[in-house]
Structure 1
Amino acid sequence: MKKMKSVYLLAVMALILVVATACGNNNKDNSANGGGGKKASGSIVVSGSSAMQPLVAAAAEQFKEKNPDADIQVQAGGSGTGLSQVSEGAVKIGNSDVFAEEKEGIPADKLKDHQIAVVGMSAAVNPEVGLKDISKKDLIKVFTGEIKNWKELGGKDQKIALINRPDSSGTRATFVKYALDGKEPVEGAATEDSSNTVQKLIKETPGAIGYLAFSYFTDKSGVTPLSIDGVKPTDENVQKGKFPIWAYEHSYTKGEPKGLEKQFLDYMMSNDIQNNLVPEQGYIPASKMEVKRDAEGKVTKK
């Protein structure tokens, strides 16, 4: 009899475990759909980093397909704009390529950091320039105006046309910090508000050079990304800490997120987005990084 009772108890416990596991998995799936089993609704505006815009816009489209009553508007404008607007309460989510602590005048202690992914960046040139690799030393000379013609670097006899980003740009801040060792680009260069425009101008302007996130380096982009000191701008090299120009893609909220912004951020961190959409869009899941970086720029092994 005691043996039968023991068998019965074990069977009951196993059944409870199966039910609990099923419920847990169901909740996880619902959360990934954007709302813990409840359809999301309402409207929010997301602004900021143009390097991050393609990923967030694609995720927003998928989210809206699952939640037809939700409206998520994704705008660019640069990391500084996103951080300022979310701090002021003008938008619910501010996207940034830099830590809020790095931007002067931003109340970082009032913002909540959500690290969505990692983005690699590199200099890119018009294909007719004739270069695929550049030393960091020469890259600095190009952007500070010391080198003015591509023939000085073994390229075409053509004047260098610099394309820059505004001070509010997180892409610019990342590039200046990690590619130019903090040296600011020469004044007088063309300055564009979005990475889409930079890509278009590099493609169409003879002798042009600018800088872009890896997500803009597609087969149809019409630009040539540059290796730095022989190290190719690839996800693998960023993950291993070999390629120096990269940044976290941050989504900031003013305090803890709630409502639709929380549902959308939960969706951005779901397995489906992190394992599929993030790499498809040319970004790196933060979990795949073998190194980490703090707000001061110090890189250490994970």
Structure 2
Amino acid sequence: MPKKVVSKLLALLFLILFFVVGCANNSSKITIVGSSAMQLLAEQAGNDYRLSHPNSNIVVQGGGSGTGLSQVQAGAVQIGTSDVYAETQNGINAKKLQDHLIAVVGIVPIVNKDVGIKNLTKAQLRDIFTGKVTNWKEVGGKNEAITVINRSKGSGTRKSFEDLILDNKKAIRSQEQDSNGTVKKIVNSTPGTISYISFPYANDKHIQKISIDHVQPTNRNITTNKWQLWSYEHMYTKKNPDKKTRAFIKYMLGNKVQKDLIPKIGYLSINDMKVIRNSQNKVTKIGNSR
């Protein structure tokens, strides 16, 4: 057979293989968008899933809970991650979505270490974030102006924080950031700052975690709601997700994620909770196991 013919056949075969593989990769693609608090967990779980499912393609992006919910509702992604219940978000028809409770994550106030504060009451925290208290000396710290860093609108972490701390009062206008990592860097480097981040991002010796009413921000205290500043990590899908999405959700609820990965990186398995919280923030005891 002439060399030119062989070359053309090989080129054609390569194109066919490229097309087939490309289609396979595309058909196995799962895009996950939403909560930055859940991004760390989703990324690590996605990486682990790919190792045991070589044909899978898990793409994880942040953007906030509001973005995740709106994107999955629009059918633009397979999974929308959220720190809040879909029914609490304007413009989201929760009845058309399916909620999968994957984990629980704590939220903790953090300050720059120069502030000299390790504990605040809930009332003091509320007064700071509503602008009533503007200097650290008013709450036992040094004579230094308070700089509030808030999360951006659409953030599920912000909604959870404001629902649980501000008691329906309006937050002060302040600088807003859309990711835990950015907030941590700003608080670390800027004297007088205060903000709040998710537990998995808070293991940093350069920032000061704040206890509330002398309750320590620990996962153990979350399980009984002694530490009340926490939220569920939801994965929302359409009511009838496709086979590949169902398989990944099943993986997220399985032992490898729930027993191994989740506690390893600082979250809480839903199976460890001794209370349950509904969309109206009503907490009910559910016994010693779930």
**TM-score, normalised with respect to structure 2:** 0.87
Q: Does 1:269 align with 2:265?
A: no
Q: AA paired with 1:50? A: S
The list of structure 1 runs, each at least 4 consecutive aligned residues, that deviate by more than 4 angstroms after superposition, is none
What is the RMSD of the two structures over their aligned residues, measured on CA atoms? 1.3
Instruction: Give distance in 1, aligned partners of 2:277 and 2:228.
Output: 11
For residues 28-80 of structure 1, the C-alpha deviation after alignment (integer angstroms, 9 at most, x for no partner) is xxxxxxxxxxxx97112100000111011110010111122211111111100
CA contact (8 A) 1:41 1:67 kept: no
SS at match of 1:148: coil
Of 84, 106, 109, the match for 1:98: 84
Of 169, 188, 193, the match for 2:178: 193
Instruction: Give distance in 1, aligned partners of 2:27 and 2:276.
Output: 36
SS at match of 1:179: helix
Unaligned runs of 5+ in 1: 1-39
Instruction: Give distance in 2, aligned partners of 1:109 and 1:219.
Output: 40
SS at match of 2:109: strand
Instruction: Give distance in 1, aligned partners of 2:234 and 2:169.
Output: 24
Q: AA paired with 1:206? A: P
Deviates more, 1:194-203 or 1:257-266: 257-266
Q: How many aligned positions are there?
A: 261
SS at match of 1:295: coil
Deviates more, 1:52-61 or 1:154-163: 154-163
For residues 119-143 of structure 1, the C-alpha deviation after alignment (integer angstroms, 9 at most, x for no partner) is 1112111111111110000001100
Of 251, 255, 259, the match for 2:243: 259
Write the mapping of 1:79-90 to structure 2, written as runs, cut at 5 A: 79-90=65-76
SS at match of 2:240: coil
Write the mapping of 1:38-57 to structure 2, written as runs, cut at 5 A: 42-57=28-43
Matching residue of 2:283: 299
Q: Does 1:204 align with 2:175?
A: no
CA contact (8 A) 1:83 1:106 kept: yes
Unaligned runs of 5+ in 2: 1-25
SS at match of 1:212: strand
Of 162, 169, 179, the match for 1:183: 169
Instruction: Give distance in 2, aligned partners of 1:121 and 1:65.
Output: 31
Q: AA paired with 2:182? A: T
SS at match of 2:171: coil
TM-superposed CA distance for 1:243, in Å, is 1.1
Matching residue of 1:59: 45
CA contact (8 A) 1:122 1:175 kept: no
Q: Does 1:74 align with 2:60?
A: yes
For residues 253-302 of structure 1, the C-alpha deviation after alignment (integer angstroms, 9 at most, x for no partner) is 01122222112111111101100100111111111111111111100111
| Percent identity of equivalent pairs | 46
Matching residue of 1:20: none
SS at match of 2:100: strand
